[in-house]
Structure formats: C-alpha cells, structure tokens
Amino acid sequence: MTTQEIERIAVLTSGGDAPGMNPAIRAVVRTALSHNLEVYGVERGYDGLIHGAFSKLEARDVGGIIQRGGTMLLSGRSKEFRTKRGQLDAIHQLNKHDIDALVVIGGDGSLTGAYALSQQGVNVVGIPASIDNDIWGTNISIGVDTALNTIMDAVDKLRDTASSHQRAFLIETMGRECGYLAVMAGIIGGAETVLIPEVDISLEEVANAVADAYKRGKTHAIIIVAEGAGIKIQELARYLDEADVGFKTRVTILGHIQRGGRPSAFDRLLASRMGVRAVEAIMDGKFGVMVGLRGRKMALVPLEEVVANTRRANLEYYSMTRMLAR
Ligand code: F6P
C-alpha cells in the first residue's frame, strides 16, 4: 500500500497498562491528524477490536491526558483474540471500518498479537509499553522509568522505617519472568540482596548475606524480590526469622502501585517520540514493525524479531548489586 492510499488509522492499548500510554496515544493521534489522516481509537484493547469498539478521535479528544497514568482507551488481556476466530473477527472489524493501518501500544503479549495480525495482511506498527522492560528490540519500553521512580520512592520510605527499627525489609517488585525492575531497584535503592527469576539462589545464601551484613554493623537491610523469583517472599521472611540473621523482617508487596501514577518526564518524551515515529512509519509504508529506542535514536524493528526473542535482566547489573552491597 502506498502512502496515498492510507487515509484512516486506528490505535489501541493492550495488556497491563503502563504510565506513558496516554502520551503515546496523544502523539499518534496528533501526528496522524497533521498528515490529514483520520484516526480511530479502539477501546479495551483486542477485545474492543473484536467487538467493534471504534470511535473517531480529534485533537481535542487527546487534550489534557499527557500527564495522566493508565490509558484513556482502556486496556485488557483478551483471551478471545488468542484464537483464530477472534483474530478473524478483529480483521473483519478493521475492514468494516475501512482502517488502513493499526497502531498497537502494549507489552510482549500485545506485540505477539500485532505480529499475528500482520501475518494475516494487516498493516500494523507496534509501540512497546510495559513496566517490565522485557520487550526485545528496544533499550527501554514506555512505563519503565515511571515504575522505577515509584519503586525508588517506596524503597526510600521503607528504608527510613527499616533503619529506625533495625529491620530487614523484604520488598516485592513486579516482573513475572523478567527481573529488570528488581535489579535496577536493587542498584538505585541500595539493596543488600536481589532475587530474580533469572538467577537461582538458595534461602541459605540469602540468610548468610543478611547475617553477614548484620555482623558488618549494618543497621538495616533491604532485600528486593521480583515477583517471579524462585523463592516466594513470605517463605523467605519466615526462613530469615527462623535462621535468626540479626534483623527481624517485614514484608512489603508493592503490587499494582508500580503501574500507576503520572508518567515521568522521560516516559512522556519517549512515548511522544515513539508515537510520532509510528505514524511516520505508516506514512512510509513500513509495516510489521515495532518502534524501538536503539542508542539515542528511534528505530523500526521487525515484529518477527521482537516476538522471536526474549529480553531478560542484565546479569552485569545483577553482579553490580552484589558488589555495591558491601
Ligand atoms: O506485564 C506487566 C505486569 O504488571 C507484570 O509485571 C505483572 O506480573 C502483571 O502485569 C500483572 O498482571 P495483572 O494486572 O493482570 O494482574
């Protein structure tokens, strides 16, 4: 399809919401309008696509959202879309609404869905948005920076009470399969130990590290546990209390608080750049790609490559958490 034939595009957000999705929607809509395209927002991610939840978006419809967390288009994890029937229904709706290209803003599952559509001839461009930072092909995804700032703030506050009571605080971060947030939180929050899905560590090793910190005169300890780590946080707390490591323990699960809040300056900028680049890709007739930050530049990465690879926590950074915990 040539640029001349692109007249109408649609945009949706899918999967776990990430702070910065709204600025990305705004950038897609306004860039498209500046190219004289019509833009439709699809509500509730792929479920809305299957059931035809399209509505036309104008410049004013995306006003006042740049600073808001969540997504004005709503999001979801669609089981129906994972089926062939669901995908065919989605394509039927795209055709029915004369949509020439679709922008999908979401995480790895959403981009896998985008790839499935592109395999069936739909013109798709993806934008990576997930606090987990587990998407291949981009240095960082929309939402990660805000989530890390939220975690840092929580760890700082928990450290105040940890040091006042000479306790070990066990703090759980999100990340079912990827320990990125936990490792980075470990560095910026000054953790004693970090537990992530990518590295096996025994209860005994953690207990020894914490007991050793106590013997070295530390007044408190911060232990970051990724939600997908092999050891569950409550089990670890019980073990440390029984092993008598010096500190008494307390557990805090940060949970969905990490997904909310105003997008940081970094995320607003990243989302705006990615939204603009996604529409430029459409204007250039480049489909089946995801916009990624490579170095300091925006690049187009084939969706095929994105979904064929998995991105996990950087083990060099993991070693750094250990070295800095002296
Ligand atoms: O993928 C983002 C994420 O927040 C993960 O870190 C977490 O494991 C998961 O979503 C939680 O999903 P839900 O909001 O569906 O419980």
Q: How far is the CA of 191 from the centre of ligand 1 (A)?
A: 23
Question: CB–CB of 290/306 below 8 Å?
Answer: yes
Q: Which residue of 110, 176, 177 sits with most ligand 1 atoms within 8 Å of its CB, as the best mutation to test the pocket? A: 176
Summary mean pLDDT of the chain? 97
What is the residue with the minimal CA distance to atom 8 of ligand 1? 176
Among residues 64, 6, 66, 80, the alpha carbon closest in space to that of 283 is found at: 6
The predicted pLDDT at position 317 comes to 97
> Residue range 135-139: average pLDDT?
98
Q: What is the pLDDT of residues 3-32, one digit of tens each?
A: 558 999 999 999 999 999 999 999 999 999
**pLDDT at residue 1 above 90?**
no
Alpha carbons 164 and 147: distance in angstroms, whole number: 26
Among residues 299, 320, 301, 322, the alpha carbon closest in space to that of 311 is found at: 301
Q: What is the pLDDT of residues 270-291, one digit of tens each?
A: 999 999 999 999 999 999 999 9
Query: Could you give all domains of the chain from N- to C-terminal order, each with its CATH number?
Result: 3-143+263-308 (3.40.50.450), 146-259 (3.40.50.460)
What is the residue with the minimal CA distance to atom 3 of ligand 1? 16
132 has catalytic annotation = yes
The predicted pLDDT at position 228 comes to 96
The predicted pLDDT at position 4 comes to 55
Q: Which atom of ligand 1 is nearest to the CA of 175?
A: 6
Q: How many helices (H) and strands (E) does the chain have?
A: 11, 11
The predicted pLDDT at position 5 comes to 87
- For the chain, what percent of residues have pLDDT higher than 90? 98
**pLDDT at residue 2 above 80?**
no
Other beta carbons within 10 angstroms of residue 159's beta carbon come to 18
